[in-house]
Amino acid sequence: MEDLSQEEWTSQLEEDANAVILDVRTDAEVAGGIIPNAIHIDIYKGQLFVDEIEALDKSKNYYVYCRSGNRSGKACAIMMQLGFANAYNLEGGILRWEGDIVDFE
Question: Cα(52)–Cα(48) distance, rounded to whole angstroms?
Answer: 6
Annotated catalytic residue within 13, 35, 66, 79: 66
Residue 68: is it exposed, middle or buried by C-beta count within 10 angstroms (0-12/13-18/19+)? middle
> Is 66 designated active site?
yes
Active site residues: 66
